[in-house]
Chain A
Amino acid sequence: MGIYLVGALLIGCALFLNRRRVLNYILVTVFVLLQWGLTIFAWLHRDKVVLVYFTPDALSVIFLSTLSVISVPAFWHSYIYFNSDREIPRERSIYYAAMVILLAALSAAFLANHIAINWIFVELTTLSASALIYHRRNVRTLEGTWKYLFVCSISIMLVFIGILLLTVAVQEAGFSDLGYAVLAARAGLLNTFWLKLAFLFVFTGFTAKMGLAPMYTAGIDAKDKAPSPAGALFSSVLLMVGFLGIFRVYTIISRTEIFPWAGRILFISGFLSVFVATVYMLRVKNLKRMFAYSSVEHMGLVVLGLAAGGVGYYAAILHIILHSFTKSALFFQVGQVYRIYKSKSIYNVGDYFRFNPAGALVLLFGFFFVTAMPPSGLFISEFLIFSALFAGGHTWLLAAVLLLLTLIIWSFGKNIFKILFIKPVGFDEAVVEKIAPAESLSQFVFLALVVYLGFYPPAVFVDLINHAIGILIK
């Protein structure tokens, strides 16, 4: 663990200082190896405290493995991105340095067993993510970065206020340790008034990272303006860090009498997220933004599952993992779409099957998968979430959500089929770049993984999720 943190920091600095192409890629490879080393280390040290502040528990092990799996194609597609786009050594080295720091901060935040340590690393993800968003260095990215940085700084501040309020409750209960294990064990002693306030602040703050209403706005611009490989990371693993922050506090709350109240907050936020996503999905004209709003919708569903309880806990975690794979596959594909059409607007792209059949298949399957049609693993998790809602007696909420989802599927399908089959207006076919089908390979692997994990989940995986939610159910 110590080796990993120091190593990642050193690699980040070395990447930043070094402008040589070969050396950059060697360093990135070393980092990927280090990342996988950490993942194996976490598997071997399940539930053991490492370096005082880190404990790889079940949830962090799943999330860390997901992160490591996604990081490999993320670097691979970044490599393709730099090969096909203009490549300025300075920008490239900053890009890779920021990505390495982002991944390292995310891993550390996953493993942290102390709420303040988690907070520090989440803060670090904001800073490194803004470097990635600003990569193209034009007015639009400047605007996106500014908004992301500002909204995230404020929400991180809100999380910090939440932690302070939690500290008040903790001190009144007569102890001073803010480790998650201690907090959960003594949750019954905490003053519910402070706990409620703390939960509100922490939850609102982390919604910026997770992409839920009310603070979802920052993430949309970020995913739109960052290069697609970075966008894939933002819409998969960065959401997980927000979920983790909320989940950890929620487990503490689950041992107190205000648990139903916290559940209601989650219901409100989840429903609002689905609603907002629907409204924007109906009129959005930018491919990347459409995917970003679809993430907002899925995060809303995850939170609804978490609030519904019962089988919903399992479904929520399954859903967020499967969503990460699906959405990152789609974002990697957007990079190829952009290379062909030089545009992300739905007006300017079309007839994609002719120019890049492999990529078009990814988009088509991705559409079926992300709207949770049966071959997709998301179908299982979404179905479980809905049955949890039904079992919990939230029939009206379920009906409303289903109605909104229908609208989302309609508008999503309309746009995707336009891209795939209808000829674009005023598009010069002579200058189309040929894209090798092999570049879509990673996306097919991810989509296959979604089917596999959804329909034939390996025993280890199910066991990990059950352990992760074991702390929720008394």
Chain B
Amino acid sequence: MTNILLIIFVISLVHMGLSKRLNTYTSVLAFQGILLFGVAFIELIQINVPNLLFVLLETIGFKTIAIPYFLNYLIRRNKITRESDPFLPDFISVVIVTSIIICSFLLSNAIRDTHIQKILFVAALSALFTGLYFIISRKKIITHVMGFLVIENGVFVLSLAVGAEMPLLVNIGILLDIFASVFLLGVFVNKIGDVLQEQDVDQLRNLKD
């Protein structure tokens, strides 16, 4: 079951590479939240109840509901156009995302280690690199935030690979991180939206030598 969920997760990354509309991105992010909820539920069912509840709250509450809602709010408030303005055409984008997945597959296969579930590692690495790819290949500031969220999802999967012994404290750290960074990034998207008309990274090129 975990395998199926994770495969769907990886496919959703490809879908993100393929699509152009911002709304698709937010819904894919929400969908990934649900998938992660499933994976976390299966993987962590044996740990103590408060910890489990906390992780579930994080996936469902934050990743599925709060963050996509907040992103949609940002898009509406700043009147951001629907297109994500990639630098590269879709076809190449899909090829790149696919090769990222293949590379992380090969890389994970190189690990000679029986303790860790390789599929979690594959999913985590592909999400990490796909997120980085989104950040460098999209023009809009808000898509950078989305790329960051994809990386966060990858990190979450990786933390599942590490297993059930994660102390609650570290969990709180993750939550703080997600909350604070997304919230702050969102606030700044708002500010940038107030100051600049067009929300492109091209506008942010004044600081240089």
Contact = CB atoms under 8 A, between A and B. Distances in A.
A150 B151 contact: no
10 contacts: A123-B173, A143-B204, A147-B207, A150-B185, A153-B177, A156-B177, A157-B177, A168-B162, A171-B115, A193-B111
Contact of A161 (B116, B148, B158, B163): B158
A331 interface: no
A164 interface: yes
B82 interface: no
Interface residues of A, number: 40
B180 interface: yes
Contacts of A144: 207
Contacts of A168: 115-116, 161-162
Interface in A152-185: 153-154, 156-157, 160-161, 164, 167-168, 171-172, 176
A372 interface: no
Contact of A171 (B163, B184, B191): B163
A153 B209 contact: no
A340 interface: no
Interface of A: 116-117, 119-120, 123, 127, 130, 139-140, 142-147, 149-150, 153-154, 156-157, 160-161, 164, 167-168, 171-172, 176, 191, 193, 221, 224-225, 280, 283-286, 289
A463 B108 CA distance: 46
A234 to B, nearest CB: 15
Given A154-B135, A164-B161, 11 more contacts: A116-B173, A120-B176, A139-B196, A149-B185, A153-B177, A161-B158, A171-B163, A172-B113, A221-B207, A225-B207, A284-B209
Contacts of A146: 141, 188, 192, 204
A176 B167 CA distance: 9
Nearest to A177: B167
A52 B141 CA distance: 41
B49 interface: no
Contacts of A283: 209
Interface of B: 111, 113, 115-116, 128, 135, 141, 144, 148, 151-152, 155, 158-159, 161-163, 165-167, 169-170, 173-174, 176-177, 180-181, 184-185, 188, 191-192, 195-196, 204, 206-207, 209
A225 B115 CA distance: 48
Most buried by A among B135, B141, B188, B209: B209
Nearest to B152: A157
B165 A176 contact: yes
Contacts of A221: 207
B194 to A, nearest CB: 9
Contacts of A145: 188
Contacts of B155: 157, 160-161, 164
A142 B176 CA distance: 23
Given A123-B173, A167-B162, A172-B115, A139 B188 contact: no
A120 B175 CA distance: 11
A142 B188 contact: yes
A285 B209 contact: yes
Most buried by A among B111, B166, B204, B207: B207
A193 B116 CA distance: 13
A147 B204 contact: yes
Contacts of A171: 115, 162-163, 165
A269 to B, nearest CB: 19
A164 B125 CA distance: 13
Contacts of B163: 171
A221 B86 CA distance: 26
Given A116-B173, A139-B206, A149-B185, A157 B195 contact: no
Which 5 residue pairs of A and B lie closest in terms of their CB atoms, listed nearest first? A153-B181, A143-B204, A120-B173, A167-B162, A284-B209
Contacts of B176: 120, 123
A125 B62 CA distance: 23
Contact of B158 (A164, A172, A176, A191): A164
Contacts of A172: 113, 115
A142 B203 CA distance: 11
Nearest to B141: A146
A149 B162 contact: no
